[in-house]
Amino acid sequence: MTAPVGLPAPVVPVAARSSVVPDSLLLLGRSGDLASERGVECPGDLPRLSDPDLVARARRARARLGDRAFVLGHHYQRDEVIEHADVTGDSFKLAKDAAARPEAEFIVFCGVHFMAESADILTSPDQAVVLPDLSAGCSMADMAAIGQVEDAWQVLEGAGLAETTVPVTYMNSSAAIKAFTGRHGGTVCTSSNAETALRWAFEQSGGLDGGGRVLFLPDQHLGRNTAVLALGLSLDDCVVYDPWKPGGGVDPQRLAGARMVLWRGHCSVHGRFTADAVEGYRRKIPGVTVVVHPECRHDVVTAADLVGSTEFIVQALERAEPGSEWVIGTELNLVKRLAGMHPDKKVHFLDRDVCYCSTMNRIDLPHLVWALESLADGRLVNRVQVDDETAHFARVALDRMLALPGPTSKD
Ligand code: SF4
């Protein structure tokens, strides 16, 4: 079990909400109705977005905290937040950066909940990991609840398949699910090392050519793309386990013959890109290079020229020839930032119908200012803490991943 410390479940009375803007029209971080924006309680004063002193207040609070605080900014965060980060990167890099700063009392994680959990697992018990808005979750991680995963394991046990199945979970999962994989001989993977992690898992389960299988959580697309494009398995070797259906909605014979049991989860941002959008750009801009994230659907990934993690995409743009033209299928904040960083290259966003990661964007400047000022005033707020037993087994799974050869960057 993991629990944010000291915060009651948020209840925003309907009467306290704005009577001017209907709830359905509230835009994240753009409404004047702070009560309905919070999602969770922010004791003290959450500054208004329109406060003209926000940037100065963030800098002042940051200076007051000095080395006591270390601010991490995920690639998908807004520029207004990234500006105040000590380091930026993907979630795993950031968790490792945090672990390398044992002198920092507070790790302020501008990312989403599962990332803050991973940072808590990898840092010392004396360090507090703070998520400026506790409602910043990840829809993909939320698609696999620990109770559902335990039920799925029982289905595999009932079919006599658990002994030849190794669970592998993507970093984008709760600490409880990482701990589940640790307990059951499995590991964690990132989008950069998914191939290595799957090869390792197949070795544990009886070899790629043997009768073993992998239960892959929670992103079906990363699992399928890696199994088919990197390991050479066929689409028929993969089945999708739907946690909302009895027995996962999979015929027992089909389950027994499957090499990859893919959890029915996906990223609500990357899952929206389409192969049509890729083809549309190819027609419009001959010679354009299309690069997408492996959380995209299989037909999108096969239509693209390159596929890789955010770190891969960042590096691809750094290495690109001046004058080259790129279409990128990943979160919009990163694509816009890359376009700004590389004015000598032409950068396009793959699909205008795809929006920002709404949960990532929960972290805005008012929440960051509120968290920093609270810490500077001696109030520890929004701490994300993983209980000892969960942290222990999650660490077992993470350590297995760290022992794998090759890169470990992700998302
Ligand atoms: S971009 Fe997708 S995987 Fe990443 S935090 Fe948002 S919902 Fe989760």
For 165, the enclosing helix (H) or strand (E) is: strand 165-170
103 in a known ligand binding site: no
**Model pTM?**
0.86
333 in a known ligand binding site: no
Could you tell me the domains of the chain? Answer: 2-137+359-380 (3.40.50.10800), 141-268+390-402 (3.40.50.10800), 272-349 (3.40.50.10800)
The DSSP string of 26-52 is PPTTT-S-HHHHHSS---S-PPPTT-T
Asked if 390 contacts 175 with a C-beta cutoff of 8 angstroms, the reply is: yes
For 149, the enclosing helix (H) or strand (E) is: helix 146-158
CA-based nearest residue to 200, from 192, 190, 208? 208
Between the CA of 66 and the centroid of ligand 1 the distance, in Å, is 30
Per the structure block, which two tokens stand in for 192? 């950069």
For 396, the enclosing helix (H) or strand (E) is: helix 388-402
Say what the pLDDT of residue 51 is.
80
Between the CA of 62 and the centroid of ligand 1 the distance, in Å, is 27
Between the CA of 140 and the centroid of ligand 1 the distance, in Å, is 6
Strands 384-386 and 2-4: antiparallel
Q: How far apart are CA 228 and CA 343, in angstroms?
A: 36
221 in a known ligand binding site: no
Give phi and psi for 128, each to the nearest 5.
-105, 125
Q: What is the 3-state secondary structure (H, E, C) of 321-351?
A: CCCCEEEEECCHHHHHHHHHHCCCCEEEECC
Ligand 1 pocket (Cβ < 6 Å) reads: 76, 112, 138-140, 172, 267-269, 331, 357, 359-360, 411
110 in a known ligand binding site: no
294 in a known ligand binding site: yes
Q: Determine the residue of 357, 362, 409 to mutate for testing ligand 1's pocket, defined as the one with the most ligand atoms within 8 A of the Cβ atom.
A: 357
310 in a known ligand binding site: yes
**CA triplet 183, 189, 195: central angle to 5 degrees?**
120
172 in a known ligand binding site: yes
pLDDT per position as a tens digit, 276-326: 999 999 999 999 999 999 999 999 999 999 999 998 999 999 999 999 999
How big is the chain by its Cα radius of gyration, in Å? 22
Say what the pLDDT of residue 42 is.
74
Q: Digits of tens for pLDDT over the chain (411 positions)?
A: 333 333 333 333 333 333 333 333 334 444 444 444 445 667 777 888 778 899 999 999 999 999 999 999 999 999 999 999 999 988 878 888 888 999 999 999 999 999 999 999 999 999 999 999 999 999 999 999 999 999 999 999 999 999 999 999 999 999 999 999 999 999 999 988 999 999 999 999 988 887 899 999 999 999 999 999 999 999 999 999 999 999 999 999 999 999 999 999 999 999 999 999 999 999 999 999 999 999 999 999 999 999 999 989 999 999 999 999 999 999 999 999 999 999 999 999 999 888 889 999 999 999 999 999 999 999 999 999 999 999 999 999 999 998 888 654 444
* Ligand 1 nearest-atom number relative to CA 358: 6
pLDDT per position as a tens digit, 88-99: 988 878 888 888
Asked if 129 contacts 123 with a C-beta cutoff of 8 angstroms, the reply is: yes
Strands 2-4 and 69-74: unpaired
Going by CA atoms, what residue is nearest to atom 2 of ligand 1? 267
For 191-253, where are the E strands, in sequence order? 213-217, 238-241
Between the CA of 244 and the centroid of ligand 1 the distance, in Å, is 21
Contacts of 394 (CB under 8 A, 6+ apart): 117, 118, 121, 175, 176, 178, 179, 182, 386
Between the CA of 357 and the centroid of ligand 1 the distance, in Å, is 6
Q: How far apart are CA 302 and CA 300, in angstroms?
A: 5
Between the CA of 78 and the centroid of ligand 1 the distance, in Å, is 14
91 in a known ligand binding site: yes
Say what the pLDDT of residue 7 is.
31
* Ligand 1 nearest-atom number relative to CA 411: 4
Q: Which residue do the tokens 């690109």 mark? A: 320
**In the chain, what is the straight-line distance between the N-terminal and C-terminal CA atoms, in Å?**
24
CA-based nearest residue to 216, from 272, 275, 262? 262
Q: Determine the residue of 222, 331, 333, 350 to mutate for testing ligand 1's pocket, defined as the one with the most ligand atoms within 8 A of the Cβ atom.
A: 331
* Ligand 1 nearest-atom number relative to CA 138: 8
Asked if 178 contacts 228 with a C-beta cutoff of 8 angstroms, the reply is: no
Between the CA of 160 and the centroid of ligand 1 the distance, in Å, is 34
Asked if 167 contacts 184 with a C-beta cutoff of 8 angstroms, the reply is: yes
Q: How far apart are CA 4 and CA 109, in angstroms?
A: 14
Asked if 157 contacts 150 with a C-beta cutoff of 8 angstroms, the reply is: no
Between the CA of 52 and the centroid of ligand 1 the distance, in Å, is 30
Say what the pLDDT of residue 407 is.
56
